[in-house]
Amino acid sequence: MTTVSILPIFRRRVFLCLLILSQGHAAFEYPGAGWASGTAHIQVVGQAQLDRSRFNPALMDSSQTGTIGLFHHRLFSGLDLVSTSLTCALPRDGNPLVMSLSIFGDEVYQELQVLSGDAWQLSPDFRVGTTISYSQVNMESETIHRELSLSPGMVLKLSEELSLGSVLENVIYLPQDSVRAQVFHLGLDYHLPRIQLLAEIEKAGPLDLDLKLAMQLSLYQSLTLVMGYQQSSRALTGGWRLKVGKWAVYYTRMGHPFLPPSHGLGLDLDL
Amino acid sequence: MKRLLILLSLCQCLLAQWAADSLLDEMEEPDVNSFYEILMEQLFDTRGEDDVRSKSMILRQRLSHSSSSSGWTVLNKARYMQQGLSLSILLEQDPTEAKLADHQVITLSTESMLGLSQLIVGDFQARWGMGYLYDQPGRRRSLAASSLVSQTSLKLRPHFSTSETGFFRGLAFSKQLPGLTIMGFGSQRMILGKFSSDGFKVDSDGKHPSKDAFSGQRERALGAAALVSSWGWDVYLAGMLKVPGSLRGEWGIRRENESWGLLQTGGDFLDNYFIAWNYASRRLRLSTQFRRQQDAEGATGVSPFSSLATTGNTEYGFSTRLQLYPWRNIAIRFALDQDLHQSDTRISGLEDSQRKNLELVFKSPTRKLKLEYGQQVQIELTPADRWQSLSASRPIHKVGFRLDQDLSRNGRYVLVGKTARQDQQCSYLIQQVIKVRRGAFRADLGYALYQIDDFYLRIGAYESSPLESFGFFTAYDDGQRFSCYVSYQKDPAILELKLARATQFALQDEGEVLLLNFQLSIVL
């Protein structure tokens, strides 16, 4: 009996260590990734859906419509880890705004993040954006870590089909002794009328580069399928999205070679 | 939580307002009543300069990998300039370093603020004098005649380089008055390094693997300088107090005249000095320099003119440069460097050296041919040699050529040959490059084959590389090197990719070195 009760706690401890030290590369670092969790967590490029806009606001352009979305993610079923995020994108003249509130964790570890991001069009083919996020991490209700970080990003349109994006995640953070990982993302987006190919390389801390690939198929105007692959964790991801009128509902699944699968469900509403 | 959200939103709105005003007024009529304009007017003396509204932004991101360094280097740099205001940010992560911003530079530089000519907050370089105060990497001798003199005596400039040494962090200013320029700075910087039995050793290569432990040592510096310009004479005096370190001073006198050129002299207060003269006309550039280094790398810790490979503590040096353009399509360059030890107080390792270089360049509309010859003589002297008046002279002779031949409007062929010879040993390098340019694309394909007998006979060559990255490689042993450089330019971006593969024949698989360099540049 003792073994049964200790095992989940032990697994959580291992998970927390991995999360905090950022060594759980590619498996643990994307709470609240939303629709992008179906595309191997490629958030730096792609269509400006809510989760991508909150990661790289430069994806939002002047045609950005007002959208609000709720996403619930059950990570690695069996670890009791859940992530829930509420995100809102607002069109504004010149510089659209995105705001997000997300909660992630379990009964041992809780992380609350409040994020706000802006985008600016500097030339017809070049946009920059930045997010400011406040995170509060509770560990076993004993220690509370508060962090403030800034992550700039950009999107460059090379042609009608091809665009390139990058994000310097947590490039500035406070306090300085925080263990927050600084990550460099560089992505490429090649899109045709029905097919979209996404690729991203990610450099987190001293770890080697991680390569992520994804493909998005638009079967009908209302139905979209995605699949992706992440090199470091050898994780396969997939999902579908159904859009009816102003509403869109989507489901994502990430399979991991060693951990239980993760499931995500989201709902977006155009304002 | 609600208050926090509101506060964050307000911060965002303020940021957005600032950014929109400062970055987007290219597309809109400037709003003189905006918060930004009022702020600028309050902070900077911009009255009367409304017409001079130049601004630009440079952004550069680079990912590079070399199998010899087992990891990736990530570089992000940006500079934003407007109305004399310049903000420079540089972040670099070397292979196996933990942070994206292991080396970070954030500098704000302005002109005409608070009545000053220049104000820098952040990381900066004090390019003062010829290097007696501290090392001046940009003042190394080259084949160019102008490299023997300093064009500007005193200059402050923002640090915007991946070099993790040779700069200050703090505040610097300059003020120009009629006939007088004064400068000053205060700096405090944490220098990383390691403690050993010899004390603290500064980590000079800038690489801090996450598995290694580094110690920090605080370095403080105060500097002041004054330049008096009167009746065609420039006289400057500069001093710097460094802790740990000592107080150092440097002086210099400069006089420029259209008829006889530039005469310059300078030194420190430890009996080190130099005298240089530079003459430039349409067909002739001539310069010469004499220097005396009493205590190279001794008391001062710097050795601005030291050329000898050994740690000799005294040296005399003489250099001359000649650039001749007898006809429009021919250029001749000659360089001579002679360095001699002043005394033989050291037990061993003394050397005298002499270098000569001659370069001829022939140009035609479709062709350029460069021939070069160099000779280096290093005389190794031991106490026994001194007694017996012997010297072991082993001159190294270098001969090379480079031919650039246009094949068509869009194509060019480059052939480079270099040899180095010492006694019976000989090294050679043959390099061929095909350059193709079509529309926005450019591609350079290169191949080099080399046979290097000895480390002292190693040969270096250039190959196309992304902007502001190191494009020089040194060939060693017997091997070959393939390189491919591709660039695509579309306003406002330039994408560059370089791949290279070097092989050392004797080492087979272990002798393979792969290199990848990708760079994105955006210029607005």
Cβ <8 Å between B74 and A208:
no
Given a cut of 70, whether residue B162 has pLDDT beyond it is yes
Q: Is B344 helix (H, G, I), strand (E, B) or coil?
A: coil
Contacts of B9 in chain A (CB under 8 A): 99, 116
Q: CB neighbours of A179 closer than 8 A, spacing ≥ 6?
A: A20, A21, A22
Instruction: Tell me which residue has tokens 């989201």.
Output: A266
| DSSP-derived secondary structure letter, B94 | -
In 3D space, the residue among A234, A45, A20, A198 whose CA is nearest the CA of residue A127 turns out to be A45
How far is it, in rounded angstroms, from Cα A83 to Cα A100? Answer: 13
First to last CA, chain B: 39
Q: Is B15 helix (H, G, I), strand (E, B) or coil?
A: helix
What are the φ and ψ backbone dihedral angles of B79, each rounded to 5 degrees?
Answer: -140, 130
Tokens for A59, please give them.
Answer: 């994806």
How far is it, in rounded angstroms, from Cα B357 to Cα B335? Answer: 5
Burial A225-261 (b: 16+ CB within 10 A, else e): ebbbbbbbbebbbbbbbebeeeebebebbbebeebeb
Cβ <8 Å between B8 and A209:
no
Interface test with B, best of A62, A120, A148 (most B CBs within 10 A): A120
* pLDDT score recorded for residue B302: 57
Instruction: Let me know: does B360 contact B332? Beta carbons within 8 Å.
Output: yes
Residues in chain B: 524
How far is it, in rounded angstroms, from Cα A75 to Cα A233? Answer: 15
* pLDDT score recorded for residue B34: 40
What are the φ and ψ backbone dihedral angles of B454, each rounded to 5 degrees?
Answer: -140, 150
Instruction: Let me know: does B248 contact B268? Beta carbons within 8 Å.
Output: yes
* pLDDT score recorded for residue B307: 56
- Least CB–CB distance from A123: residue in B8, B209, B492: B492
- Least CB–CB distance from B524: residue in A123, A182, A205: A123
How far is it, in rounded angstroms, from Cα A115 to Cα A118? Answer: 10
Tens of pLDDT, residues B205-238: 777 777 777 888 888 999 999 999 988 899 999 9
Contacts of B488 in chain A (CB under 8 A): 158
Instruction: Let me know: does B166 contact B134? Beta carbons within 8 Å.
Output: yes
Tens of pLDDT, residues B334-369: 999 888 776 555 445 556 778 899 999 999 999 999
Instruction: Let me know: does B339 contact B378? Beta carbons within 8 Å.
Output: no
Tens of pLDDT, residues B374-432: 998 877 666 555 555 545 567 899 999 999 999 998 999 999 999 999 888 899 999 99
* pLDDT score recorded for residue B142: 82
* Highest averaged pLDDT of the listed ranges A62-66, B243-247, B260-264, B301-305: B260-264
Cis amide leading into A175 (omega within 30): yes
A139 in reach of chain B (CB within 8 A): no
CA distances from A220 to A34, A36, A241, B86 (A): 21, 20, 11, 50
Tens of pLDDT, residues B124-148: 998 888 788 877 765 667 888 888 8
Given a cut of 80, whether residue B187 has pLDDT beyond it is yes
Q: Is A95 helix (H, G, I), strand (E, B) or coil?
A: coil
Beta-carbon count within 10 A of A224 CB: 22
* pLDDT score recorded for residue A141: 62
* pLDDT score recorded for residue B225: 94
| Cβ–Cβ pairs < 8 A, chains A and B | 101
* pLDDT score recorded for residue A25: 37
How far is it, in rounded angstroms, from Cα A242 to Cα A23? Answer: 35
Give burial (CB, 10 Å; 0-12/13-18/19+) of B193. Answer: middle
Q: How does pLDDT run along chain A (271 residues), one tens digit per residue?
A: 333 444 444 444 444 444 443 333 333 456 657 888 889 999 999 988 888 999 999 999 877 788 999 998 888 877 778 889 999 998 877 778 999 999 988 878 888 999 999 999 888 899 999 999 999 888 776 678 889 999 999 999 999 999 999 999 998 888 877 777 889 999 999 999 899 999 999 998 888 889 999 999 998 888 999 999 999 888 899 999 999 999 999 999 988 888 888 889 999 998 8
At B194, the amino acid letter reads K
Give the residues across from B113 on adjacent strands. Answer: B44, B116
Cis amide leading into A206 (omega within 30): no
How far is it, in rounded angstroms, from Cα B191 to Cα B435? Answer: 43
* pLDDT score recorded for residue B301: 54
Residue A26 zone, left/alpha/beta (φ > 0; ψ -120 to 50; rest): left
What are the φ and ψ backbone dihedral angles of B24, each rounded to 5 degrees?
Answer: -110, 5
- Least CB–CB distance from A206: residue in B1, B98, B491: B98
A17 in reach of chain B (CB within 8 A): no
Given a cut of 50, whether residue B39 has pLDDT beyond it is no
Cβ <8 Å between B4 and A114:
yes
Contacts of A182 in chain B (CB under 8 A): 99-101
Cβ <8 Å between B5 and A114:
yes
What are the φ and ψ backbone dihedral angles of B141, each rounded to 5 degrees?
Answer: -75, 140
Q: CB neighbours of A247 closer than 8 A, spacing ≥ 6?
A: A267, A268, A269, A270
Given a cut of 70, whether residue B300 has pLDDT beyond it is no
Dihedral over alpha carbons B132, B136, B139, B142 (to 10 degrees): 110
Cis amide leading into B395 (omega within 30): no
* pLDDT score recorded for residue A37: 86
Contacts of A92 in chain B (CB under 8 A): 16
Q: CB neighbours of B159 closer than 8 A, spacing ≥ 6?
A: B88, B105, B107, B122, B123, B124, B125, B167, B168
Residue A78 zone, left/alpha/beta (φ > 0; ψ -120 to 50; rest): left
Q: What is the DSSP string of A209-237?
A: PEEEEEEEEE-SSSEEEEEEEETTTTEEE
Give the residues across from A247 on adjacent strands. Answer: A244, A269
Q: What is the DSSP pairing of strand B459-462 with strand B472-475?
A: antiparallel
Instruction: Let me know: does B61 contact A166? Beta carbons within 8 Å.
Output: yes
Question: What stretch of H or E contains B444?
Answer: strand B441-451
How far is it, in rounded angstroms, from Cα B324 to Cα B304? Answer: 27
Instruction: Let me know: does B38 contact B77? Beta carbons within 8 Å.
Output: no
Tell me if the pTM is above 0.90.
no
In 3D space, the residue among B420, B433, B442, B323 whose CA is nearest the CA of residue B374 turns out to be B420
Residues in chain A: 271
- pLDDT band at B52; cut points 50, 70, 90: very low
Tens of pLDDT, residues B456-485: 889 999 999 999 888 888 888 899 999 999
Least confident piece of the model among A26-40, B17-31, B78-92, B129-143: B17-31
Least confident piece of the model among A36-50, B18-32, B309-323: B18-32
* pLDDT score recorded for residue B315: 72
Residue B3 to chain A, least CA–CA distance (Å): 12
Q: CB neighbours of A41 closer than 8 A, spacing ≥ 6?
A: A26, A30, A33, A212, A228, A230, A237
Q: What is the DSSP string of B396-423?
A: EEEEEEEEEEE-SSSEEEEEEEEEEEET
Helix count and strand count (H, E) for chain A: 2, 15
* pLDDT score recorded for residue B386: 54
CA distances from B221 to B127, B238, B243 (A): 15, 13, 6
Instruction: Let me know: does A165 contact A151? Beta carbons within 8 Å.
Output: no
- Least CB–CB distance from A164: residue in B1, B97, B520: B520
* pLDDT score recorded for residue B123: 94
How far is it, in rounded angstroms, from Cα B429 to Cα B128? Answer: 39
